[in-house]
Amino acid sequence: MDLYDQIARNRRRSALLLAAFALLVGLTVAAVGTLVRAGPVIVPIAVVIAVVSAWVSYWSSDRIALAVSRARPAEGPEFKRYHNLVEGLCIAAGLPKPRLYVIDDPAPNAFATGRNPRHAALAVTTGLLEKMNRVELEGVLAHELSHIRNADILVSTLAVTAVGIVVLLADLALRLLWFGGPRRRDRGGGSPFGWLLGLGALVLLLLAPLVARLMQFAVSRRREYLADASAVALTRYPPGLIAALEKLRDDRTVVASASRATAQLWIESPLERGRTAETPKRGTWLNRAFDTHPPLEDRIAALRAM
């Protein structure tokens, strides 16, 4: 399967993922309505809240991510190499040039955000600009531009929104249950079917945030491999990205402005450092399930096998 077939399959999976998230949000809303016994009125209210949240996230995701990361516009002669590399890669990829930002942080890292290629932004840390040579920096920038071309940034943004909605609804319902809201309405017990329905709704609310995060992390890890392959196809020089990933692997610094909410956007998790070639962090299958990125050793091995 060639790269373009992989991109097409990735976009089909994106549609399925968004449908799965929509189903999970719908089931969570139904579970909330069942447990709090607020009647059918809670469903349209929850749907309106979900739609408004998704709308705001769609139009403002780039500004939010940049503000949280304390990014500033990359203006000035010291960023000339940064601009020149992005311009050349955009010409090769057929992309409009994204807005370029820089984050004052010694940890080498980068991320792309936005709702589509015409409204995208790319941010790099000062540590990345200082620690990477030209071909390594080009590999990292090509990786982030590949996320833009492959429509990864939109899916990641909507996934974050869906997870937030699920967690918020589940937390709200469980808090209402804790304070005993619905129990005052029905002290008599109810039918066995009603008890089973309530138990199923409670289990769903407990598991929904976990399922939503696992779905989010799984799609994030899969897209990193595809972005790596797309970057190599764009630069025609695999050693550049390989060397960049090796430097990221060996660097122990963390991005001070990073958070768990935006961790999946970066080229490498900004929250987990200390891995080296001699002691790569693998952990148990459960730990790996909650990683936002695949192990750098695996990504490097995949690139060397190309």
First to last CA, the chain: 13
* Token pair 């009603």 in the structure block, residue: 194
pLDDT of residue 171: 75
Confidence category of residue 37, pLDDT binned at 50, 70, 90: low
CB 119 within 8 A of CB 158: no
CB 296 within 8 A of CB 249: yes
Give the SS3 label for residue 253: coil
* Token pair 């002691």 in the structure block, residue: 279
Confidence category of residue 56, pLDDT binned at 50, 70, 90: confident
Confidence category of residue 111, pLDDT binned at 50, 70, 90: very high
DSSP alpha helix (H) spans, the chain = 3-36, 42-68, 80-93, 126-131, 134-149, 152-178, 192-235, 238-250, 285-289, 296-304
DSSP secondary structure code for residue 266 in this structure = B
Specify the higher pLDDT residue, 31 or 286: 31
Pairing type for strands 120-125 and 110-114 reads: antiparallel
Whose CA is closest to 124, among 266, 257, 288? 266
pLDDT at 25 over 70: yes
Cα–Cα distance for residue pair 162/66, rounded to 1 Å: 20
Specify the higher pLDDT residue, 158 or 44: 44
CB 274 within 8 A of CB 295: no
Burial of 272 (0-12, 13-18, 19+ CB in 10 A): middle
Confidence category of residue 62, pLDDT binned at 50, 70, 90: confident
Percent over 90 (pLDDT), the chain: 36
Give the SS3 label for residue 262: coil
Q: Which residues are tagged catalytic?
A: 144
What is the average pLDDT across 181-206?
59
pLDDT of residue 133: 97
* Token pair 């936002």 in the structure block, residue: 292
Domain span at 111: 3-304
What is the average pLDDT across 213-239?
83
Point out which residues pair with 101 in neighbouring strands: 73, 123
**pLDDT tens-digit map of 116-148:** 899 999 999 999 999 999 999 999 999 999 999
Percent over 70 (pLDDT), the chain: 69
Highest mean pLDDT: which range of 99-108, 157-166, 177-186? 99-108
Question: What is the tally of structural domains in the chain?
Answer: 1
Angle, CA 114 vertex, CA 108 and CA 119 arms, to 5°: 120
pLDDT of residue 232: 94
pLDDT at 208 over 90: no
State the pTM of this model. 0.77
